[in-house]
Amino acid sequence: MTSEPWLPIGTTIMGDIALGRALIGGDGWQIVEDRAGGRVLLVAEHVADGWLATGTIKEGELTSFRFGQIRYGLVRSGPEHTLVPVSGSRSPKNAQEALAFATAIGATRAAGETASLAQGLYVERLTRILPIQVADPDEAPDDALLLGTWLTGGLRVPAVPTSRIGGYLSWMSQEQVARLVAAAGLAVEEPVLARADLGSARTGEAGRSPSGGGRFDLPGRRVVEEFFNDHVVDVIQNRDHYRALGIVNPAAIVLEGPPGCGKTVAVERLVAFLGWPCHHVDAESIASPYIHDTSRKISNLFREAIDTAPSVIVIDEMDAFLSERERGGASQHRVEEIAEFLRRIPDAIKAGVLVIGMTNRIDIIDPAILRRGRFDHVVKVDFADASEVLGLLDTLLAGLPLGPDVRLADFASRLAGRPLSDAAFVVREGARLAARGRGSEIDARSLDEALDGILAKDKKAARAPFGFTAGRDA
């Protein structure tokens, strides 16, 4: 809460820090505006001494000064860095902000701090979260819950296991979430399928998975879940049975369907489940303005995937690279690039690389790419129906307090045929609205308001004029 400033507004410290108004404060600390830009953290002497004694902060990172007879500690933060109480901060805007916070948790623990950080102060410039309460020896700090709550903007969802919190973070891949968890010093759960027996990959067999590896789960996408379990997971988990009948590795797969239907999320979850290295084919990884350079990059990427097999190659927006050569405007270099894919895909499959392509335009993919032996399976991924949305809502809300007036089947019916990210948003926004109203559970009214907000935006977008309208006759 905002408090009266400890020092008069305009007080100059260290010659160039002019204190402004107090923004927020608590017992032994206060965050104040720096009129030169940014913020200043002021702390009482006993708080500063505590951080120095535990090694959470070092000499030189905290400045000591006197005002009258009272000694204070000071930490300066520029406008480009975040300085906020953890409990009152917003969720991150992007993956870089998320990684910075997670790294601060890990660095604070590495410095030897054992107190709970849930009520701490996030000082991005120092890559620290400074606790403002004494460590309780009988209470283990829950950094997984701290990270998950911060990432989701207030939902009490732990960051581990990553498979659960990933449903709330549609703007991040499973790999990015796993990196955040590792940066925070938390244990990333072992992949269900381990990269064991790597020596066989050199002879054309993907690594063996441990027996009883479990079933791949994809809430909200029942058809894709069943396909991946039948055509990928079962082949890997029961390799000896398949090998006896001539099936060595899973065949290549294309997922095709409209934007927002969940293709990318499905592939990311499968990659996380397998725990294999993933190599992405996209404009960033292979596109080049130089003649023959794109073909060279394609060759190198497939070679890297083979060298790290068992692994996965994901070709995102494959229509951008593999459109039909007979279509107008195809240059000789484009033909060369497609030919490189045609050569490399069978070799990669034999070496134990799982190749997955995704596209919104299956109709323009070169027919040679889709022939058997390259991509054996084309799986249609459409928008989820009500039963699939209901399964996703059940997963997203598992473990969260839900009001007795919530009928998930009704919400599933209203969300059917829409991007699955809308369902995740409704849960996240509904929880935020309920928390804002100081409710102890997510109620139907909050979820309704969140869903109505999406529908209202859709209607507004549909009514928006397109093109030039000025000067039109009435």
How confident is the model at residue 383, as a pLDDT? 83
Whether 346 and 278 map to the same domain: the answer is yes
237 & 365 share domain: yes
Q: Could you tell me if 206 and 343 lie in one domain?
A: yes
Give the CA count within 13 Å in the CB-facing half-sphere of 358.
Answer: 22
Chosen domain end from 77, 101, 122? 77
Question: Is the overall model pTM greater than 0.75, yes or no?
Answer: no
Mean pLDDT by 10 residues, the chain (474 residues): 80 87 92 90 93 89 91 91 83 83 92 88 93 66 87 80 68 77 79 37 38 70 89 90 88 88 84 84 59 72 86 82 57 61 84 90 80 83 85 83 90 86 86 88 91 76 48 41
* 352/237 same-domain check: yes
**Phi/psi at 131 (nearest 5 deg)?**
-70, 145
- Assign residue 399 the CATH number of its domain: 1.10.8.60
Statement to judge: residues 237 and 313 lie in one domain: yes
Same-domain pairing of 178 and 232: no
Residue 153 sits in the same domain as residue 250: no
Answer whether residue 171 is part of any domain.
yes
Q: How far apart are the first and last CA of the chain?
A: 54
Number of folded domains that form the chain: 4
Q: Considering the domain boundaries, does residue 334 fall inside one?
A: yes
Supply the pLDDT for residue 231.
Answer: 93
Please state, in angstroms and rounded to a whole number, the distance separating the CA atoms of residues 69 and 370. Answer: 80
From the list 357, 326, 328, the residue with the least C-alpha distance to 344 is 357
153: which residues sit within 8 A by CB, 6+ positions away?
A: 90, 91, 428, 432
Q: Is residue 238 part of a domain?
A: yes
Report the SS3 class of residue 94.
coil
Map residue 420 onto helix, strand or coil. helix
Whole-number pLDDT of residue 47: 93
The domain of 65 spans: 12-77
User: What pLDDT shows up at residue 170?
Assistant: 61
Answer yes or no: do 50 and 126 share one domain: no
pLDDT at 137: 54
Q: Are residues 37 and 104 in the same domain?
A: no
Residue 443 and residue 431: Cα distance in Å, rounded? 8
5 assigned to some structural domain: no
Per-residue pLDDT, 355: 92
